[in-house]
Structure 1
Amino acid sequence: MPVKKSIQPLLTDTKQACPLRGTWVSFQLVDESGNGKPYAGLAYKLIDSADQSHEGTLDSEGFAKVCDTYEGPVVLTVDSAYKGDEKDYKWLMTRLNYPLKITELQVRAEKTRFLRKDGLRVENNPAKAKADQFFHVEVGHLVEKFAHLPPISKSAHPPNFNLLKVMGDLGFGPEKPKLRGVVLLPDKHTVLEVRPLRAFRPMLSKDNSFSALNLYQLSLFASLSYNNFGQVPEENPFDTVAFPLDPSAGNMFGNSLASFREAWKINKDQKTAYYPLYEDIPYSKRFEILPFDPTLYKQNKPELGLNQETPATWHFFDDGKAEGGTDTQAFITHHDEIILISVRGTLELVDFVRDTDAEQVPITGGIGKAHKGFYDAYRAMSTFILTYLDSFHVDQKVVICGHSLGGAIATLLAEALRRDTKEYDVLLYTYGSPRAGDADFVNGAADLAHHRMVNSNDPIPSVPAPWMNTRKSIWMPGVVLSFVTAPLGALIFAIGLSRTGGAPYEHQGNLHHFMPVHFKGREQSAVLWDPGCDSIEEAACTKALKKFGDMPDRDAFVMQLFQMSDHYMVPSYIPYAWATLRRWQQTQESGTTVVTKTEYDQVYYQLQEMQERLKAKEAELRFAYQSDRRQYQQEANVLRAEIGRLDTSRQRIHTLSFLKLVPEDIYGSATQAPEHKINVDRWMAKKENSVEVQLAMIPEASSSDLRTA
């Protein structure tokens, strides 16, 4: 193909003594509808083949024409800094750590919208018919500093990158090996369709009260913490970083959501798509992954070696490889309203069981004592978290989540932040969390907003058990453990292991127990509630802790842990959280109660039967301890307390049978978003969310032949 005359001077090995001029170029910036008004008044710069600068502003239609340029292509940039007064942009541009080079073009692109709901390019732009050249461009094409912008998406009409590279390699004007901008050919009119700079952001409620939205959303992000951060290169990057690993926190927040793609994968073996509920927001309001640009930030320079900062060092904590590390892992990110922290649980369950009888240690700067293993893990990551908050916290809500061991660490972290002199506003959701501290710690943390999810028969929340002392050497010898079979399929805690010295381990936070209810035939549903009794919450642990001499049979407990399907996130907690959200949505739409009469009848009468069994057990004790009134009284008090708590459970299920929901119960403060309904409808349109799942089922009306299967 012959080289066009207009670009021959650029490609020749010798430069003409007097470069020719007299060519012209015109161009227009438009949105996807062909409208140029969103870009009216923007300042632009053209550099021609003689390195002459031509500056101006776009007219009211986003159009400009420049005449009498030197022969050859020209390079267009639209890179003037934002000079408006919107405080969010001004903060990003002036913050002490990683200030951003936000341009007026970026702000304009953030205020445009995609014509298609999925963010894909439209087939035909009306302005294309009037163009000699037509390009799909993004803000990153037209500005000099782009590390804070999303990865460039694929398009059918990309700018001419090859020609831009040739111009840079040949020393276009002064030497510019990394020339930035879009190449326009002379004597032609070019239309540039600017991609909207929008992002997806997971919806979250900032209310301290429980919401089904947060229950589901944070179950996903608690699970995401089990992945590596996903940065490539992982260490000592030279000029750029990428986040290709899917799933990973880096990929989700740095690639997919930043590029307006609805990510759903949070586990590499995951088959079912669990989509978070997303809101369509301006790019600058996304959950941020910090930029990496050694030319702009001296702390990114590779010659710093181990002291080099990268996105991973800011957003991801992992001391598993460090000598003496605690194998703690977490990620943190933020936007203008929320800072999100997710703490990983243990990957080695045997390691967790090894620590169940760890020593209780005093909490520095707090009240009470904590499990030593959990407390060491919290202390290992506390500096990392506080450094991030010192840099990026500007009155946002701090939302923390964690699963299993991560839930215990998250509890200690959340309470420490609540007590911090900066008085962080903290909200905590945990899933299958063990007890983190003693009764004194729990009493001191009474004001911490903590929603604690326990799924069905998950054994991990039952340890460390209240009777476990600071050291197993002072467990009382000759303890008695017995249990009673109950129609709910659980083994009920009847007589507990006694303990001496110090305050017992206790749970902090508001319990939300997910209890499947089975009926004859195929019907199945679930009740989300706080039963308020040890008979249900402690059932899984009691089942495993069978007496072995004067000690529980720990080997049997370990075996149960490795078979505990109710504990894992992707197979259990996430589906149940999803089912709760769908169930509550249906309940609110239909105006029915949270617990139907059918469910109420089944659970209420089973609780009543459990009470009767415990009363019978108390009568047996009277004969078993005829010669030891003190021992009888001690064990009988345990049973009477549990009988009373079962009364509380019956009252709570009774209240739920009359409770009707409003949207705020489901979505919390997220209902205040201007596009709340649009955001929910987008999620509901996913085929995965219209599938009927048994656990989300609302059972039919009560019938005398509907009995527990």
Structure 2
Amino acid sequence: MPLQTPCDPLLNGKSEACPLRGDWISFQLVDENGDGKPYAGLSYALQDSAHQTYSGVLGPDGSAKVVNHYQGPVVLTIDEPYQGAEAFYKALTQRESYPLPISELQVKAENTRFIRKDGARVEKNPAKEKADQFFQIEVRDLVSKSAHLPPYSPRKYPPNFSLLKIMGDLGFGPDESLLQGIALLPNKHSVLEVRPLRAFRPMLSKDNKFSALNLYQLSLFAALSYRNFGQSPDKNPITDTVSFPLDATVGNMFGEGMACYKELGKIDPQQPTAYYPLYEDVPYSKRFEILPFDPALYDQNKPELGTKQEHPAKLHFFDDTEEESGTNTQGFITHHDEIILISIRGTLEGVDFLRDADAEQIPVKVGVGKAHQGFYLAYEAINTFIQTYLNRFHIDQKVIICGHSLGGAIATLLAEALRQGTNKYDVLLYTYGSPRAGDADFVQGAAALAHHRMVNDNDPIPSVPAPWMNTRKSVWMSGVALSFITAPIGALIFALGLTRTGGSPYEHQGALHHFMPVQFKGREHSSILWNPGCESIEEAACTRAVKKFGDLPDRALFIQQLFQMKHHFMIDSYIPNAWATLRRWQQTQESGRTVVTKTEYDQIYYELQEMQDRLKSKEIELSQSYQSDRREAQQQVNVLRAEIGRLDTSRQRLHTLTFLKLAPEDIYGSSIQAPEHDQNVERWMAKKENTVEVQIAMIPQANSAKLRTA
């Protein structure tokens, strides 16, 4: 039994650090409304100065009182493991890889809400008036294991951490090595406002059908793949914790941005305009997860493992750029309970261009057909990383993959391998400015792959590798330059006289969606998204421009197209066009108008008709001319005739769009089923960047119909 003797004063003499009974403590857990009901029934533990523990259960109003404890401050913890029946939380606590120490308090906090839409703390809590002490606390303040919880957010009334440390240093209460919980002064009523444990996650549609929402959201994450992971320490951490302090990085966006209920709008610190994802407000455990790092809890996190040590950057981020035999491939992966998200980086450095040029075809190991060798080697480099993650964390989620440029080609090969592989994953793919990844046999075998392939205006990258380029880069690079320079007609048929080294021609896989700007002599211009269906637009880098080379319509020569690379960049081109399409579709649906206005239809129809007329003239010229090789001339005539027919298809598709009206499902896909869908969209629309009228999203007025392209 402790000695009943006087002791030196502690805490400015207000209480003595003495093992004498007679003190009392009362406390209440409340939400931001001042209501304690959300925390009713939670088990708590109080430890006093004599190391005595007092256990109990919070009452209906979230409060409790302990009397006649040993004098001095007490330490409060609420750390009972989750014992509920909800399958989602049970799965997280029982999974084989990185099981989470979820507490009953965490689940309660995840089911409370912020009063302010931005998640900022409220200024005045009604329960504060009844308190002798008022603290703004977070779940991590009261539990022993917190590596899986978000970092602290700013607060005006933090707990008294210095008091807790003093108690540990003096051996007064818990040992210093066991410091946890919140220190409360005796003979006072303390109110603890628990911050809601909510997170943002980007809205995504799981439907295979195209949606403007996925178009925009995945353009942001395709661009994010170019950024670093941003973890500190970045490799083989010897610390107990890691953080993600660097803005506009993968780790920061998912681990400290969305997880802390922050709306981040910049993929690159240098981008001039913020592009915010459409976020949905979800319980913290349903966010896109960045796995915890806790060497005391997970053996695989221990520093002594050296190169085999696991940490978030190693688990979520693939980068073999520094490896001697690396392929310079980079990408990231994360997941929540419904979706696994994979994003793969595109061409960034000189070595990437060399890989793009390594166009020899090799057989794929999963599926059918052959693939571009450079792209396939990059796919193989990242495939093991992806498969390892899926083996650990895939529980029947939809696998959504995105990639830009070279990353789009790698993503195509990865998506088809996952779809065709042993586990038959449910895959949805969006690519931006992707080159061709496989031959005709591969494309035919991958016909069932849900792939939406975006091409912007005059982007040159989707036109490579050309269908005939089944050869090593050392063979074709000089030859193709010569063909571009000396071809007597345009890029449409520039390669007819060249011979492949064998195998099927390269083809594009997936449904094309082409950003087509429509310009007028006035200040107005717009941009529509459509599937043209003709090689003059689709295969020739999808340009809207009608140019003359001789008397044929032609996109600029490929070498000249390199000066149009601005059409290929994500932040400069694809993201603005994806944003514009989303806003245009929203406005179209709200107003009840059609996807393509009569003004735009008249303008584009004229250009398509002019293109077809030139093709017909060239067909007549080739048919009547005397050439030394009439067989070659006939081949060219056949190509032109086929293209003339496809232009009819293009006009029909355009005509259909003039009658097409959109439903909300066309814009948002399956995400519209979320109970708070409207509030999520309203939050996004409240951003000033999304209310500004941008010309690229402008819908021309009816009186512009007479205007022609400059």
Q: Distance in 1 between matches of 2:20 and 2:473?
A: 91
Which deviations, in whole Å up to 9, do the C-alpha atoms of 1:37-59 show, x marking residues without a partner? Answer: 00001000001111111110110
| Corresponding residue for residue 677 of structure 1 | 678
Which deviations, in whole Å up to 9, do the C-alpha atoms of 1:61-86 show, x marking residues without a partner? Answer: 00101011111111100100111100
Q: Distance in 2 between matches of 1:704 and 1:41?
A: 69
Matched, 1:481 2:491: no
| Corresponding residue for residue 622 of structure 1 | 623
Matched, 1:29 2:29: yes
Q: How does 1:364-379 map to 2 (within 5 A)?
A: 364-379=365-380
Matched letter for residue 112 of structure 1 = T
| Corresponding residue for residue 127 of structure 2 | 127
| Corresponding residue for residue 656 of structure 1 | 657
| Corresponding residue for residue 600 of structure 1 | 601
| Corresponding residue for residue 517 of structure 1 | 518
| Corresponding residue for residue 69 of structure 1 | 69
Q: Distance in 1 between matches of 2:652 and 2:226?
A: 39
Matched letter for residue 470 of structure 1 = T
8 Å Cα contact 1:136-1:155 kept in structure 2: yes
The change in CA–CA distance for 1:93 and 1:668 in structure 2 (over 3 A counts) is same
Matched letter for residue 283 of structure 1 = Y
8 Å Cα contact 2:341-2:400 kept in structure 1: yes
Give TM-score, length-normalised by structure 1: 0.93
The change in CA–CA distance for 1:686 and 1:598 in structure 2 (over 3 A counts) is same
- Secondary structure (helix, strand or coil) at the match of 1:573 reads helix
| Corresponding residue for residue 13 of structure 1 | none
Q: Distance in 1 between matches of 2:256 and 2:303?
A: 23
Q: Distance in 2 between matches of 1:216 and 1:297?
A: 37
Which deviations, in whole Å up to 9, do the C-alpha atoms of 1:100-122 show, x marking residues without a partner? Answer: 01111001101100011111111
Choose the corresponding residue for 1:5, options 13, 27, 44. 13
Matched, 1:338 2:339: yes
Q: Distance in 2 between matches of 1:367 and 1:215?
A: 28
Matched, 1:436 2:437: yes
The change in CA–CA distance for 1:74 and 1:150 in structure 2 (over 3 A counts) is same
Matched, 1:180 2:186: no
Q: Distance in 2 between matches of 1:620 and 1:217?
A: 48
Q: How does 1:30-109 map to 2 (within 5 A)?
A: 30-109=30-109
Residue 703 of structure 1 deviates from its aligned partner by 4.8
The change in CA–CA distance for 1:341 and 1:497 in structure 2 (over 3 A counts) is farther
Q: Distance in 2 between matches of 1:584 and 1:463?
A: 31
Across the two proteins, how many residue pairs are aligned to each other? 683
- Secondary structure (helix, strand or coil) at the match of 1:64 reads strand
Which deviations, in whole Å up to 9, do the C-alpha atoms of 1:533-588 show, x marking residues without a partner? Answer: 12113444999xxxxxxxxxxxx956743651000000110000000000000000
8 Å Cα contact 1:343-1:406 kept in structure 2: yes
The change in CA–CA distance for 1:321 and 1:349 in structure 2 (over 3 A counts) is closer
Matched letter for residue 35 of structure 2 = N
| Corresponding residue for residue 228 of structure 2 | 228
- Secondary structure (helix, strand or coil) at the match of 2:357 reads coil
Structure 1 unpaired stretches of 5+ = 10-15, 485-490, 544-555
Q: Distance in 1 between matches of 2:317 and 2:92?
A: 21
- Secondary structure (helix, strand or coil) at the match of 2:176 reads coil
Q: Distance in 1 between matches of 2:495 and 2:345?
A: 34
Matched, 1:613 2:614: yes
Residue 619 of structure 1 deviates from its aligned partner by 2.0
Q: Distance in 2 between matches of 1:508 and 1:654?
A: 25
Which deviations, in whole Å up to 9, do the C-alpha atoms of 1:214-244 show, x marking residues without a partner? Answer: 0000000000111111110011222000000
Q: Distance in 2 between matches of 1:640 and 1:120?
A: 64
8 Å Cα contact 1:362-1:370 kept in structure 2: yes
Q: Distance in 2 between matches of 1:700 and 1:496?
A: 43
| Corresponding residue for residue 196 of structure 2 | 196
Residue 178 of structure 1 deviates from its aligned partner by 4.8
The change in CA–CA distance for 1:330 and 1:124 in structure 2 (over 3 A counts) is same
| Corresponding residue for residue 386 of structure 2 | 385
Matched, 1:152 2:173: no
Matched letter for residue 394 of structure 2 = H
Root-mean-square deviation (CA), in Å? 2.0
Q: Distance in 2 between matches of 1:434 and 1:686?
A: 35
| Corresponding residue for residue 631 of structure 1 | 632
Matched letter for residue 162 of structure 1 = S
Q: Which has the larger displacement, 534-543 or 264-273?
A: 534-543
Which deviations, in whole Å up to 9, do the C-alpha atoms of 1:118-137 show, x marking residues without a partner? Answer: 11111111110011100000
Matched letter for residue 175 of structure 1 = D
| Corresponding residue for residue 307 of structure 1 | 308
Q: Which has the larger displacement, 474-483 or 613-622?
A: 474-483
Q: Distance in 2 between matches of 1:339 and 1:7?
A: 55
Residue 167 of structure 1 deviates from its aligned partner by 1.8
Q: Distance in 2 between matches of 1:360 and 1:294?
A: 46
Which deviations, in whole Å up to 9, do the C-alpha atoms of 1:422-449 show, x marking residues without a partner? Answer: 1100000000000001111000000000
8 Å Cα contact 1:493-1:538 kept in structure 2: no
Matched letter for residue 526 of structure 1 = S
8 Å Cα contact 2:31-2:195 kept in structure 1: yes
Q: Distance in 2 between matches of 1:645 and 1:387?
A: 44
Q: Distance in 2 between matches of 1:381 and 1:630?
A: 46
| Corresponding residue for residue 550 of structure 1 | none
8 Å Cα contact 2:328-2:352 kept in structure 1: no
8 Å Cα contact 2:198-2:281 kept in structure 1: yes
Which deviations, in whole Å up to 9, do the C-alpha atoms of 1:317-373 show, x marking residues without a partner? Answer: 001111110010010000000000000112125742563253111101221111111
- Secondary structure (helix, strand or coil) at the match of 1:535 reads coil
| Corresponding residue for residue 547 of structure 2 | none
| Corresponding residue for residue 452 of structure 1 | 453
Matched letter for residue 201 of structure 2 = R
The change in CA–CA distance for 1:534 and 1:71 in structure 2 (over 3 A counts) is same
Q: Percent identity?
A: 71
8 Å Cα contact 1:493-1:534 kept in structure 2: no
Residue 171 of structure 1 deviates from its aligned partner by 2.7
Q: How does 1:238-277 map to 2 (within 5 A)?
A: 238-277=239-278
Q: Which has the larger displacement, 302-311 or 492-501?
A: 492-501
Matched letter for residue 369 of structure 2 = G
| Corresponding residue for residue 362 of structure 1 | 363
Residue 645 of structure 1 deviates from its aligned partner by 1.3
Structure 2 unpaired stretches of 5+ = 1-8, 545-556
8 Å Cα contact 1:216-1:577 kept in structure 2: yes
Q: Distance in 1 between matches of 2:267 and 2:94?
A: 34
Matched, 1:461 2:462: yes
The change in CA–CA distance for 1:173 and 1:703 in structure 2 (over 3 A counts) is closer
Matched, 1:582 2:583: yes
- Secondary structure (helix, strand or coil) at the match of 1:54 reads strand
Q: Distance in 2 between matches of 1:625 and 1:397?
A: 59
Matched letter for residue 13 of structure 2 = K
- Secondary structure (helix, strand or coil) at the match of 2:248 reads coil
Which deviations, in whole Å up to 9, do the C-alpha atoms of 1:594-618 show, x marking residues without a partner? Answer: 0001100111111011011011112
- Secondary structure (helix, strand or coil) at the match of 2:613 reads helix
8 Å Cα contact 2:602-2:705 kept in structure 1: no
Q: Which has the larger displacement, 378-387 or 175-184?
A: 175-184
Q: Distance in 1 between matches of 2:11 and 2:628?
A: 109
Matched letter for residue 507 of structure 1 = H
Matched, 1:507 2:508: yes
| Corresponding residue for residue 166 of structure 2 | 166
The change in CA–CA distance for 1:446 and 1:233 in structure 2 (over 3 A counts) is same
Matched letter for residue 244 of structure 2 = F
